[in-house]
Amino acid sequence: MKSRTILGYTLLLLYIFVAFMVIAFLTREIVIFFLCRCFDAFKLSRSEMIRLIVYAGIATTGAWLSTVFANLVIHIKSSRGKKSSSNSSDKP
């Protein structure tokens, strides 16, 4: 019984992983399509387009890192608040 549950969860995770991979592939294809359209529409050279992609990647990475850092700070502050409240309740 327990092995069937583990197998079910494993298959569910596999399905979710495959779904994310398909979504990522389709997103990549859509982005490449629009980049090619921008390449033609704005008459950008290949080096300008590569620079634009690199800057967008840097901005995306910076936004992701700032979000992770903010969540880490919130988590640390909330865990400190729990420690201080549990310590104060233990004291008479």
- Considering the entire predicted model, what is its pTM? 0.43
Query: What is the average pLDDT value for the chain, to the nearest integer?
Result: 75
What does the alpha-carbon distance between residue 35 and residue 44 come to, in Å, rounded to a whole number? 10
- Give pLDDT tens digits for 33-75: 777 776 677 777 778 777 877 887 888 888 888 888 888 888 8
Burial class (CB in 10 A: 0-12, 13-18, 19+), 49: middle
Structural tokens at position 66: 């700032």
Q: Domain spans of the chain?
A: 1-43, 44-92
pLDDT value for 1: 56
Contact, 24 vs 31, CB < 8 A?
A: no
pLDDT value for 61: 84
pLDDT value for 36: 74
Range in 5-9, 63-67, 69-73, 87-91 the model is least confident about: 87-91
What does the alpha-carbon distance between residue 90 and residue 60 come to, in Å, rounded to a whole number? 45
What does the alpha-carbon distance between residue 25 and residue 40 come to, in Å, rounded to a whole number? 23
**CA angle, 34 as apex, 68 and 38 as ends, to 5°?**
110
